[in-house]
Amino acid sequence: MARVLVTVGMGPWPFDRLIEAITPLCAEHEVFAQTGTSSVRPPCPHAPFVPFGELDALIRTVDVIITHAGNTVRLVQRAQKVPIAVARRAALGEMANDHQVEYLHFEELAGPVQAVWDVRELPRAVLAHDAEQIRLLRERPVLPPASSDHIIKTLDSLCARVCRGGRGR
C-alpha cells in the first residue's frame, strides 16, 4: 500500500477526469487528493486547496505524487521525486489551451516524469512507480535550481544584447 498524493493545482480549471480516475487507487492505497475546483468528490480524504507549506510537506513524505502537467511537476522534481503527470486537455474543457500536453510531451522525453496519457492507466503507473522513479532519477537527474548570481548574469547578458540590438549595433 502506497501513500499517494493527488494534486490538480490551484488554478480555476476543474480536472474532474483525473479526480474520477483515482477512485480505484483510493481502495488500494492511502490517498489524499487536492481537488481544486473539480465537482467530483473522491472516496478518500480530500480538500479543494492545500496551503503551499502543507503541500510541500506532503510531497516530501508520500510515496507517489500524481499531478496535472503544470508547475507542480517541477516542484516534485526539486524534491528529488518523480511525479506521475496527467496533462489537462483543452478539448475536454480542462484548460484554455494545450500547453500542458506540449509540456508533458517535452518532459516525457527529457525529464524525470512518468507521463500518463490515459487515466485508466493510473493504477498500473502507481504499481510501477518505485522502479520508474529509480530508473528516471538515475538516467535524468534533476538539475539544481539556478543561483541568483547566475540568473542576474543571464538577465544582464540578455539585456545587453537587446539594448545593443535596439541601437542598431
Instruction: Output the pLDDT for position 88.
Output: 97
| pLDDT profile of the chain (169 residues), mean per 10 | 96 96 97 97 97 96 97 94 97 95 95 97 97 96 83 87 63
Dihedral sign for Cα 133, 54, 46, 61, please: positive
- What is the pLDDT at residue 27? 96
Rounded to two decimals, what is the model's pTM?
0.86
Instruction: Specify the pLDDT at position 169.
Output: 43
Instruction: Map grid coordinates 500524481 to a residue.
Output: 66
pLDDT of residue 144: 77
Q: What pLDDT is stored for residue 168 in this prediction?
A: 45
Which of 112, 115, 113 shows the shortest CA–CA distance to 142? Answer: 112
What's domain 3-142's superfamily in CATH?
Answer: Glycogen Phosphorylase B; (3.40.50.2000)
